[in-house]
Amino acid sequence: MEDDASWVADAMKATVPWVSTAGIEFGEITAQRATAVLPDRADQRNHVGGPHAAVIFGLAETASGAVGLAAFGTTMEHATPLVVSSQIGYRKLARGPLTAEAVLTRPADEVLAELDAGRRPEFTVEVSVRDAEGAQTTAVSVVWTLKPNRPVPTA
């Protein structure tokens, strides 16, 4: 794990074009927690004037990916992070800019120990999406795996 995760925001924008397209910006990013902000844009609204559900999910999944990258970025030569499943609950009508806070729920060292033992570990990131007043609008749970990379065959 890397203590300085300042590189993660730029890496997310460079490797996931949708992040820039959606206008997502990042706040604090550590190996345990990440925040991502979605601006209020008319072209991303739904029929009731709030951000479309797909955009809200995208914000939450992006924040979960940022904390995962911060926690496991040093393993990218050996394993690829992939989403296994997600669960989302819309709690309140979202309006305006949104902030997603993603928290890794399992110690990264445990996940890495499983990977080092030759297993395909899974880890969960819990995400709370809040509006500008701080009210929770959405709760998302994202289960990720680190899929070991196959060796590249030599000719």
pLDDT at 14: 94
What's the pLDDT band for 76 if we cut at 50, 70, 90? Answer: confident
User: Which residue in the block uniquely carries the two structure tokens 């820039």?
Assistant: 20
Q: What is the DSSP string of 124-152?
A: EEEEEEE-TTS-EEEEEEEEEEEEEPPPP
Average confidence (pLDDT) over 17-27: 95
Lowest-confidence pick of 46-55, 63-72, 98-107: 46-55
Distance of alpha carbon 74 from its chain centroid, rounded? 17
d(CA 145, CA 111): 9
pLDDT tens-digit series, residues 106-148: 999 999 999 999 999 999 999 999 999 999 999 999 999 999 9
pLDDT tens-digit series, residues 79-98: 999 999 999 999 999 999 99
Q: Is the pLDDT reported for residue 3 higher than 70?
A: no
pLDDT at 34: 97
Q: Is the pLDDT reported for residue 52 higher than 70?
A: yes
| Third-level CATH fold of 7-148 | Thiol Ester Dehydrase; Chain A (3.10.129)
d(CA 154, CA 91): 52
pLDDT at 2: 44
Domain coordinates of the chain in residue numbers?
Answer: 7-148
What's the pLDDT band for 1 if we cut at 50, 70, 90? Answer: very low
pLDDT at 22: 93
Q: Which helix (H) or strand (E) holds 38?
A: strand 33-38
Q: Which amino acid is at 106?
A: R
What's the pLDDT band for 155 if we cut at 50, 70, 90? Answer: low
Mean pLDDT, the chain, integer: 93
Q: Please give the model's pTM, rounded to 2 decimal places.
A: 0.92
Q: Which residues pair with 100 in a beta bridge?
A: 36, 129
